């Protein structure tokens, strides 16, 4: 047995006693996507383009507030943190200029996380490449390196960015993700993964743009890894491993026809240009572009719109001074012109498309590039470089491989890439709920089944009724996990993102305090996660600055389990009869996390930082009825360590029953029993019933860094064993499907022409 705090054996996480470790995690924190100085949420445009002069040195939160956040997360039963940071945070000022203040802050926050016993995995996060292309991740100078001019993205619609949107408050929900299929991100991801093949003229500092971008990304992450290594007390103690780039995308690589939106890009919202149209508008041409919206059954066409840049172009002008960043661009790379025109894709003199299939086949071997081919070649080339960069300093780190979202994992089983200290990390969201911001308990769709060609028509993928919906979510995760086992080998599967929007139904819950829709949606997701037997999972998201008006402060998203405008759940169970939402006062919104003051929590109550008692209210209508933010669903019992292997584990929220089945190769020893996190929120010690197949058990409360955690310890013999715990059942306010949900379904079933495509 290895001496590491967490290791991998036979496809399972294990501790030093050989017990299976179940990693129940959360992403911390969404705030890390945004600079702290200046504080620049995505709806603020002032100073946006001064991207070289930003600092992230108080992200994800300040050192003073960190204990409050970590204690809260620990009390909710999470033992794992996917630690969000961005390339921009490390290297914003320019190529090779690392922000040591941010890095030192990161080390200090990790030390605090260590004191709470978390397992931490570092996540170099990105969404559609960068804040300047509508998401988060890369520094602004990478856009200039690629020959692009972010100042012109709004006019050309090379990217739709909330910071530069005419009316940020009317920024369409979830439109940010369409930037993957617009000129800026489409070009940069093509450069990043396949520049040597498709943009050979793009030479900067003597190397192709692909190597230039990847090498800087590798070096930035490696530099952070080096500093963490030099700290001397973090590797293996708290930082267990490193995940590869969040949600990689192939850009235009593999496009069969630039005049057509590929079938694998079903996400359509707002203006939806083809890549050929983005090249035209990127050079200042006006184009009539189809417009789409997202309905209950997926995207549907709403009409068309004229995109007219009035001659403005998305590329750097010919006289742009490259000396600012001290790089040398090859004379063969002309500024002021579309780089794809320079590679013969189209002719700007006649606006004629010459090579609609330019990106369809690999110049290496002439083979057609589909997503599996891309993942097995271009992505794996990148991944190998990233592994080397991380392990140069953190030599024994666990590597989390994140391949393109909802695509097939790479086929590396039995090859040199079949790394015994590797984890495959898919993402999964209930797309219907996420895009519509509504929990439809009437019907849903087997999205993974549709993507894998399981059905002759998407209508056959519809599941009717809440039980069928929950099973459908579970079965999709079962598929994703099995695909990873089949293609990568016997490795743990960590679902590093899943979650729900809290601002459902036009923020209804913020006005009423009724979070029943959110409870049902999140419980359905956890039912899927637990039922699919994933070895690990990380909920998206914890955001320290979430409020009802702006959500996560980023592109209108609102997925955080914590909000400044909601009540923090108490440790003790909710009272059977809570006060009416209308009787709650704003001053009570975020009272001390521990509930009533007692001798045990007096000191913590007095020292709770002000961050947990300052509602952000700007619109009284959205803060007059704070709720517990679906705490019933995310505070769940979890088998922390198992003396053997988990066969099944799950929490039935409606009956408040937790069940665990395991297989033990030998009897649990005195010092290494099976341990279950048993939240007092659902299971007050004197009001729960425990049944075991055999062995002895005890329930106790352990104090860790001032945080009380209730746990059940179980000493069982070898063989298959079962545990069942019944807690306090509370009345569930389950939302009913509305007439609109049923109406969409009826139209689809009767074939009335409703678009049944899915995300």
Q: Are 109 and 63 in contact (CB under 8 A)?
A: yes
User: Which residue of the set 247, 407, 483, 632 is catalytic?
Assistant: 247
Strand order in the sheet with 287-295: 270-271, 287-295, 298-307
Core vs surface per residue 684-717: b (16+ CB within 10 A) or e: beeebebebeebebebeeeeeeebbbbbbbbbbe
The whole-angstrom separation of Cα 759 and Cα 755 is 12
Angle, helix 209-231 to helix 183-198, in steps of 10 degrees:
100
**Nearest to 122, CA basis, from 220, 251, 16, 21:** 220
User: Which residue of the set 88, 91, 497, 594 is catalytic?
Assistant: 497
- Under the phi-then-psi rule, with left for phi > 0, alpha for psi from -120 to 50, and beta for the rest, what region is 10? left
The whole-angstrom separation of Cα 398 and Cα 535 is 14
3-class DSSP assignment, residue 205: coil
Span between the terminal Cα atoms of the chain, in Å:
44
Residue 247 annotated among the catalytic residues of the structure: yes
Which are the contacts of 482, defined by CB distance < 8 A and separation ≥ 6?
none
- Beta pairing partners, 628: none
| DSSP H or E run through 539 | strand 536-542
Radius of gyration of the chain (CA): 26
- Beta pairing partners, 12: 9
Angle, helix 209-231 to helix 100-115, in steps of 10 degrees:
50
Q: Are 148 and 314 in contact (CB under 8 A)?
A: yes
**Nearest to 541, CA basis, from 565, 518, 557, 564:** 557
For 632, phi and psi rounded to 5 degrees? -55, -30
Per-residue HEC secondary structure of 39-83 comes to ECCCCCCCCCCCCCCCECCCCCCCCCCHHHHHHHHHHCCCCEEEE
For 662, phi and psi rounded to 5 degrees? -145, 165
Q: Are 205 and 211 in contact (CB under 8 A)?
A: no
Tell me the residue length of the chain.
759
Q: Please, where are the H alpha helices in 253-326?
A: 275-282
| DSSP H or E run through 742 | helix 739-750
The whole-angstrom separation of Cα 90 and Cα 642 is 38
> For residue 38, is the peptide bond before it cis, meaning its omega torsion is within 30 degrees of 0?
yes
3-class DSSP assignment, residue 466: helix
The whole-angstrom separation of Cα 182 and Cα 278 is 6
Q: Are 687 and 726 in contact (CB under 8 A)?
A: no
- Token pair listed for 329: 């661009």
* HSE (side-chain half, CA atoms, 13 Å) at 561: 28
Which are the contacts of 210, defined by CB distance < 8 A and separation ≥ 6?
191, 192, 193, 194, 195, 196, 199
**Nearest to 273, CA basis, from 317, 316, 245, 314:** 314
**Nearest to 204, CA basis, from 42, 43, 329:** 329
Residues designated as active site: 247, 497
């Amino acid at each position: 047995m290895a001496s590491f705090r967490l290791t991998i054996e036979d496809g399972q996480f294990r501790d030093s006693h050989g017990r299976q470790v179940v990693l129940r995690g959360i992403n911390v924190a969404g705030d890390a996507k945004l600079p702290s100085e200046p504080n620049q949420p995505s709806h603020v445009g002032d100073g946006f383009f001064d991207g070289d002069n930003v600092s992230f040195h108080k992200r994800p939160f300040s050192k003073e507030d960190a204990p409050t956040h970590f204690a809260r997360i620990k009390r909710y039963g999470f033992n794992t943190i996917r630690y969000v940071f961005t390339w921009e945070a490390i290297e914003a000022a320019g190529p090779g200029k690392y922000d040591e203040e941010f890095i030192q802050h990161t080390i200090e926050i990790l030390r605090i996380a260590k004191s709470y016993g978390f397992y931490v995995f570092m996540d170099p996060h990105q969404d559609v490449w960068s804040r300047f292309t509508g998401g988060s991740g890369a520094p602004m100078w990478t856009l200039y390196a690629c020959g692009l001019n972010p100042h012109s993205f709004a006019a050309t619609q090379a990217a739709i960015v909330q910071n530069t949107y005419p009316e940020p408050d009317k920024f369409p929900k979830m439109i940010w993700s369409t930037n993957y299929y617009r000129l800026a991100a489409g070009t940069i991801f093509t450069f990043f993964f396949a520049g040597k093949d498709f943009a050979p003229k793009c030479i900067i500092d003597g190397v192709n743009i692909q190597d230039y971008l990847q090498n800087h990304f590798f070096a930035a992450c490696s530099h952070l890894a080096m500093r963490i290594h030099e700290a001397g007390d973090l590797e293996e103690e708290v930082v267990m491993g490193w995940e590869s780039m969040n949600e990689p995308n192939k850009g235009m690589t593999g496009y069969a026809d630039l005049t057509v939106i590929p079938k694998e890009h079903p996400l359509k919202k707002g203006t939806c240009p083809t890549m050929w149209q983005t090249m035209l508008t990127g050079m200042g041409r006006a184009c009539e572009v189809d417009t789409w919206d997202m309905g209950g059954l997926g995207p549907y066409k709403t009409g068309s719109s004229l995109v007219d840049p009035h001659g403005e172009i998305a590329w750097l002008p010919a006289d742009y001074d490259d000396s600012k960043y001290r790089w040398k661009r090859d004379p063969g790379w002309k500024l002021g012109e579309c780089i794809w025109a320079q590679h013969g894709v189209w002719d700007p003199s006649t606006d004629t498309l010459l090579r609609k299939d330019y990106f369809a086949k690999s110049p290496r071997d002439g083979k057609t590039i589909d997503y599996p081919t891309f993942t097995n070649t271009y992505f794996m080339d990148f991944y190998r470089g990233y592994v080397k960069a991380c392990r140069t300093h953190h030599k024994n780190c666990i590597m989390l491989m994140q391949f393109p979202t909802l695509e097939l994992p790479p086929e590396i089983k039995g090859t040199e890439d079949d790394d015994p200290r590797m984890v495959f990390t898919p993402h999964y969201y209930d797309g219907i709920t996420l895009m519509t911001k509504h929990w439809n308990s009437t019907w849903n769709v087997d999205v993974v089944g549709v993507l894998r060609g399981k059905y002759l028509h998407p209508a056959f993928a519809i599941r009717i009724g809440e039980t069928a919906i929950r099973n459908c979510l579970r079965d999709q995760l079962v598929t994703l996990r099995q695909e990873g086992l089949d293609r990568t080998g016997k490795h743990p599967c960590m679902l590093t993102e899943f979650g729900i929007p809290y601002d459902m139904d036009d923020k209804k819950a913020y006005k009423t305090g009724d979070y029943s829709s959110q409870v049902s949606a999140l419980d359905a997701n956890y039912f899927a996660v637990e039922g699919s037997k994933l070895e690990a999972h990380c909920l998206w998201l914890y955001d320290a600055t979430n409020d009802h008006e702006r959500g996560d402060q980023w592109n209108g998203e609102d997925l955080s389990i914590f909000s400044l405008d909601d009540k923090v759940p108490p440790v003790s169970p909710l009272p059977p009869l809570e006060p009416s939402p209308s009787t709650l006062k704003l001053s009570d919104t975020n009272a001390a996390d521990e509930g009533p003051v007692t001798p045990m929590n007096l000191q913590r109550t007095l020292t709770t930082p002000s961050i947990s008692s300052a509602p952000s209210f700007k619109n009284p209508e959205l803060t007059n009825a704070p709720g517990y933010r679906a705490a019933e669903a995310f505070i769940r019992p979890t088998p922390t360590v198992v003396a053997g292997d988990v066969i099944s584990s799950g929490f039935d929220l409606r009956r408040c029953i937790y069940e665990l089945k395991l297989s033990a190769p030998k009897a649990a020893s005195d010092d290494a029993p099976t341990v279950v996190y048993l939240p007092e929120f659902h299971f007050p010690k004197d009001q729960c019933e425990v049944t075991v197949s055999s062995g002895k058990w005890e329930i106790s409360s352990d104090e860790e860094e001032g945080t009380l955690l209730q746990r059940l310890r179980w000493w069982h013999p070898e063989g298959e064993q079962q545990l069942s715990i019944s807690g306090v059942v509370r009345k569930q306010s389950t939302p009913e499907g509305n007439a609109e949900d049923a109406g969409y379904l009826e139209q689809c079933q009767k074939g009335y022409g409703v678009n049944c495509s899915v995300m």
